[in-house]
Homo-oligomer: A and B are copies of this chain.
C-alpha cells in the first residue's frame, strides 16, 4: 500500500482557511457552512465541473433532487438505526398568530425561535443518493441503471467541524448504480479507475483504501464488521496537509440492502444490488489548495477528463 503522499510543499488546512479568510474569499456565518467568492469560488466551480463531467459521462441521466427528504424514506433505508448522530432536520415556525406575534415583538427573537417552531417535518438529506432509491421503489431494473445527482448534504459532527474539511452543510456529487451484483461491482471499480485518472489531471496525490461507515455502534455494529470483511467500501483519501489526509470520495457496494428495503427487483425477481460513488466537493477544493497552495498563479489548469465515457456502451466490461 503506497503512502498518501505528495513530494512538494504542503499547506495545512488551517493555513489555507486563514489565507482565504484574509482575502475575503471564504466566510462561515454559521459553524460548518461556508460561503465562497473570487478565485477560490472559480476554482471550486472548475473542480465541481470536472467531477460533474466525470459522473455525467457514465450516468445516463442527471436528476435535480429536492432540498428536503421525507422521514419515511429515511426510515425505510434504516437510517435512524444506522447514522442518527448526523441527522439534521427542518422545521418551520408555528402558524399560530399569537405565537408569531410574541416572537415578532421579542427583544431576543433568536432565543425564542425554537419554542415557537412546529414539530420538524422533514430531514435535510445526509446523502443525495437517499433521494434516488425511493424513486425506484417497487420497480424492476432490466439493465444497469445509473443516475447522477449533486446537492447540499447535512451531517452534524459537533466539535469536529472545520471549514472545507468537515461541513455541517456541504456539497455532494454522486452516481448511483442499480443492477446485478456484478454490474455494481464493475461500476464501483470503474469509478475508482476514473477517479485515479482525475487525480493525475489535477496533480493530486491520494490513495484508495478499504474503509467502513461510522455506523451508530449500539444498533449497527454487525454491519460495520460485515462491510469490512466483504470489502464493500473504499475511500479516496487525499492529502490535506503535511501530516493529514481526508476522505474525498467513497465507492460503495450496498449488495441488495436498498433493493430489499425499497423492493427494487431484477428480471428474475430477486432484489437488485446497488452501489454509489460519492464525491465531497469542498474536500477536493481543500486538497487542491493544500497541495498547490492558496495562490492562483501556482494552480495547474483543470481539464475535465471523462475516462468513463469510453466504457458506457458496455458497463459489464472490466475497468482497465
Contact = CB atoms under 8 A, between A and B. Distances in A.
Tell me which of A66, A85, A219, A220 has the highest count of chain B C-beta atoms within 10 A of its own C-beta.
A66
Interface residues of A, number: 72
A262 B38 CA distance: 23
The 6 closest A-B pairs by CB, nearest first: A71-B110, A80-B109, A92-B156, A33-B66, A67-B169, A114-B119
Interface of A: 27-30, 33-38, 41, 44, 61-75, 80-81, 84-93, 95, 97, 100-101, 103-106, 109-110, 113-114, 116-117, 119-124, 131, 134-135, 152, 154, 156, 158, 168-169, 216, 218-220
Contacts of A93: 84-89, 156
B218 A30 contact: no
A84 B103 contact: yes
Contacts of A33: 66-68, 122
Nearest to A105: B219
14 contacts: A30-B121, A36-B64, A37-B62, A37-B64, A38-B61, A41-B62, A67-B152, A67-B169, A81-B104, A81-B109, A85-B100, A89-B90, A104-B220, A113-B123
Nearest to A63: B37
Contacts of A34: 66
Q: Is the interface of A mostly helix, strand, loop or mixed?
A: mixed
B66 A30 contact: yes
Nearest to A135: B27
A60 B269 CA distance: 57
Tell me which of A72, A73, A122 has the highest count of chain B C-beta atoms within 10 A of its own C-beta.
A122
Contacts of A110: 71-72, 74-75, 80
Contact of A35 (B29, B61, B64, B168): B64
A110 B121 CA distance: 9
Contacts of A44: 64
